[in-house]
């Protein structure tokens, strides 16, 4: 039942997301911070965050599309919300910081506690045609994972 309601709730709640309609990412740290602020605001409803595909690099966007196509309306390769590293969450002690950076690549590190478990996620952004786009996500706490690998159903 949750899977059937999640897209509807996500659509209803996207109107409250503090990002522009096109989700142009001018600053990766601010973008990730905004996503987590939104998730904290709605965590009592357990609404999922479903970003528009225009935030992904072409490579990651293709993996997301291929996973949805394979799933055919069912659960795909990932059965959790990668933003919170779980199906349920209660985010506390959030810090978001800039990691390694160059002119065309930037890593954003999100650290938080969710339902008593410390989490650390690294969001890799790449500048493509002058725009920052999300290229991959890595969980550095056990179980470790990389989003692009999960989307291939490799694990």
Taking 50 as the threshold, does the pLDDT of residue 54 lie above it?
yes
Q: Are 57 and 133 in contact (CB under 8 A)?
A: yes
**Cα Rg of the chain, angstroms:** 15
Give the residue extent of every domain in the chain: 2-150
For 89-103, how does the pLDDT look when each residue is reduced to its tens digit (9 = 90+)?
A: 999 999 999 999 999
CATH class for the domain made up of 2-150? alpha beta
Q: Which two tokens stand for residue 38?
A: 């939104």
Helix (H) or strand (E) holding 29, with range, is helix 28-42
For 4-43, how does the pLDDT look when each residue is reduced to its tens digit (9 = 90+)?
A: 333 333 333 333 334 445 568 999 999 999 999 999 998 8
pTM of whole model > 0.75? yes
Task: Provide the CB-side half-sphere exposure for 137 (13 A, CA).
Answer: 24
Report the distance separating Cα 147 and Cα 136, nearest Å. 6
């Amino acid at each position: 039942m949750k899977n059937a309601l999640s897209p509807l709730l996500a659509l209803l709640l996207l109107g409250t997301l503090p990002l522009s309609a096109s989700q142009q990412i001018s600053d990766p740290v601010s973008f990730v911070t905004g996503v987590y602020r939104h998730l904290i605001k709605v965590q009592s409803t357990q609404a999922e965050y479903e970003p528009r595909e225009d935030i992904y690099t072409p490579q990651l966007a293709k993996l997301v599309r291929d996973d949805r196509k394979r799933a055919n309306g069912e659960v795909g390769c990932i059965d959790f919300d990668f933003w919170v590293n779980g199906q349920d969450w209660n985010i506390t002690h959030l810090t978001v910081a800039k990691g390694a950076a160059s002119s065309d690549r930037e890593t954003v590190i999100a650290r938080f506690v969710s339902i008593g478990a410390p989490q650390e996620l690294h969001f890799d952004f790449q500048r493509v045609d002058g725009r920052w786009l999300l290229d991959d996500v890595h969980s550095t706490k056990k179980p470790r994972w990389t989003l692009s690998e999960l989307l291939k159903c490799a694990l």
